[in-house]
Structure 1
Amino acid sequence: MNEVVETLRNIEQNYKIFQQQQFTFTRALDHTREEAHDLLRPVASIVQVQVLKDHHCISATDRRILNMFISICNDLRNLCQKLETVHPGDQVTNSLLERCKVLLNDSNDLSAIRATYPHGVVNYLSFEEARHTYGGVVSLIPIVIDLLKEWVTYTKR
C-alpha cells in the first residue's frame, strides 16, 4: 500500500508541474489544432491529443507539454491497473477504479466533464475554451487523482 501512496504522490508532483504550464498546454493544443485545420471540434479524448501531437505538432515546446499530459495519463492508467492487483476490492473501491478506467480510456469523450472546486483548472481558461474546447482534457487529471485519493483513503480504513 505504501508503494501505491508513493506512486500517487509522484504523479501529483508531476501534475503540479504540468498545472503550472496549463497555458502552454492550451496554446499547444491551439497550435496543433490550427495545423490540423480542425478548429471546430473540441479536444475531447486522450487519443485526440496523441494524434495532434504525433501528426500536427511542429514546436518542441508543444510536443513536450503534450507528451507530459499523455505521460501523466499513462501513469494514472498504470496505477489503476496496479490497484486492481493490490487490493481484492469491494463495491466502493471497484466502483472508484471503474470510474478511473473509463475516464482514462483513450477514446472516452471527455467533453462533458469539468473539474470543480477546489480545482481551478477550468477557471484559468477563457469562457470559450472552458465551455467548449479544452474543459474536459484539463479536468481529466485532477478528477482521476481525486478518485484515486478517495480509493486510498477508503482502503486505509
Structure 2
Amino acid sequence: MSRDITIQPITVGAFAPFGDLIDCAGDPDKIINQGQCGRYHDRARLDFSDGRAGLSLFNANPRALPLVLDMVERHPDGSQAFVPMTHVPFLVVVAPDQDGAPGRPVAFRTEPGQAVNYHKGTWHGVLTPLHAPGLFAVVDRIGTGANLQEHWFAESYRILATDKPVTAP
C-alpha cells in the first residue's frame, strides 16, 4: 500500500464522517443587522463531555508540501473547531477510527473563508496552515483531565499537493 496521500478539495459530504465544514454556502438562514448581514446559523456541532467551551487563539507556522505525516491526535472529551482569521486555505488531515487507532489518513484543502469542526474523538493532524500568518480562533473544551491522545505511525505518510495550486489570494 502506498504511503502517499493526495490532497483533495474539502466538501460537506466528504468531511461529514469527521466533523462539520463551516462556511457560508447557500442562502443565509436569516438577514440581520438592519438588512446588512446574512446569518448562517448553527454551522457546527460543539460537543463536550464535561467542562465548557473556550475560545483560544493559535498562531501556527505555515508548512510546505509535500508534508511528512508521522502523528495524529484526537480529543475524546470534546469537539474542536478551527476558524482561520485570514482568508487563505489550510490543510486538514483526518483519519477514520479503526478499533481505537487511526486508519488511513485523508487530506483536504479548504477554500478561503472555510473553517472546520472536528467531532469529539476524531483522529486529526496538527494545525497546518499553508501560508503565513497561521492565525486561528479555536473553540474547544476547557476542563480538567486529559483530553489529548496521540498516535505515532510506525511508518510515516507523505501528503502530496494536488494539481490545483495552493496559493494565497
Greater relative contact order (CA < 8 Å, ≥ 6 in sequence) = 2
Per residue, is there more helix in 1 or in 2? 1
The two structures share one fold, judged by TM-score above 0.5: no
Per residue, is there more strand in 1 or in 2? 2
TM-score, reference length from structure 2: 0.24
